Amino acid sequence: MRIILLGLPGAGKGTQAKILAEELNIPHISTGDILRQASEDRTPLGLKAKEYMDKGHLVPDDLIIDLIKERIKREDCKKGFLFDGFPRTIPQAEALEKISNIDKVINLKVEDEVAIERLSGRRTCKGCGALYHIIYLPPKRERICDRCGGELIIREDDKKEAILKRLEVYREETQPLIKYYRKKGLLIIIDGGRSKEEVTKNLLGSVR
Ligand code: AP5
C-alpha cells in the first residue's frame, strides 16, 4: 500500500503516521523528520534546509524530490510506504507521479485554531522523535520522554511567527494538492479534530 498523508501543520500527521505505518508494516517516510535529522547531523542538505524550516518556509522542490527518489529506491519501500509531509507542492506531486503509483491520499482535516493550539503545545523527544502535547498527550514526567527517557524539546518552527507562516504557506502551496488528488479519485477525508484514538480508528478503517 502506497499512502500519502496530507494535512495542515499540526493536523496530527506525524502522530498518526507512526501508528499507521506500524499497523500496516510499511515505512513511515517523513520529509520533515529526514530534514531535521540532516540538520542535526550538519550535512550540506541539513544546513541548507534549516534556513527555510526555522522560518516556516518550504525547502526547495529539487532538494526534496532528490531526497525522495533516493529514499524510495530502498528495499523496505518494495512493500509500500506512508508519506508524511510529502508531496507539499504540485511540482513535487508531478515528480512523484513519474517515479511511483499511489493507492490512497488521506487528508487529515482540522481547523486552523486546532492546528495552532496543537503546535503551540507540542513537545518532541530529541532522542526517539515521540510526540507529546502539554495538555492533550502529556508525558508522565515533565520534559522527559516516557518511551526512551530523552529530553523533550520545542521545535524551532513551533514558535508563533513560524506557525502562522507555515499555515500561510500551506494554503498557497499545499492546499491545491487536495483538488489535484480529488480529480484523480484518490482522496479520502478524515476528521483530524477528534481524539487521537478516534482518528486512528477512522484512518485504519479507511485503508483496510
Ligand atoms: P513537517 O515536519 O512535515 O511539519 P508539518 O507538516 O508542518 O507538520 P507538523 O509535524 O508540524 O505537524 P503534524 O501534522 O505532523 O502534527 P503532529 O502529529 O506533530 O515539516 C517541517 C518543515 O520541513 C516544513 O515547514 C518545511 O520547511 C520542511 N519540509 C518538510 N517536508 C517538506 C516538503 N515535502 N517540501 C518542502 N519542505 C518540506 O501533532 C501536533 C501536536 O498535536 C502534537 O503535540 C501532538 O501530540 C498533538 N496531537 C496530535 N493528534 C492529536 C489529537 N487527535 N488530539 C489532540 N492532540 C493531538
52 lines ligand 1 (CB under 6 A): yes
Contacts 24+ apart (CB under 8 A), 179-182: 180/90, 180/93, 181/4, 181/6, 181/93, 181/105
Q: pLDDT per position in the chain (208 positions), as tens?
A: 999 999 999 999 999 999 999 999 999 999 999 999 999 999 999 999 999 999 999 999 999 999 999 999 999 999 999 999 999 999 999 999 999 999 999 999 999 999 999 999 999 999 999 999 999 999 999 999 999 999 999 999 999 999 999 999 999 999 999 999 999 999 999 999 999 999 999 999 999 8
The range of the structural domain enclosing residue 91 comes to: 2-27+74-207
> Measuring from atom 41 of ligand 1, which residue has the nearest CA?
118
CA of 196 to the centre of ligand 1 (A): 14
Q: 69 lies in a domain?
A: no
Average predicted confidence (pLDDT) for the chain? 97
- All three cell numbers of 112, joined, read 486552523
Q: Please say if 123 is a catalytic residue.
A: no
Task: Quote the pLDDT of residue 96.
Answer: 98
As given in the structure block, the three cell numbers for residue 120 are: 503551540
Number of domains in the chain: 1
- Domain of 89: which CATH number? 3.40.50.300
Q: Is residue 106 part of a domain?
A: yes
In a domain, 20, yes or no: yes
What's the confidence (pLDDT) of residue 208? 85
Report if residue 165 sits inside a domain. yes
pTM: 0.96
> What are the residues facing 122 on neighbouring strands?
133
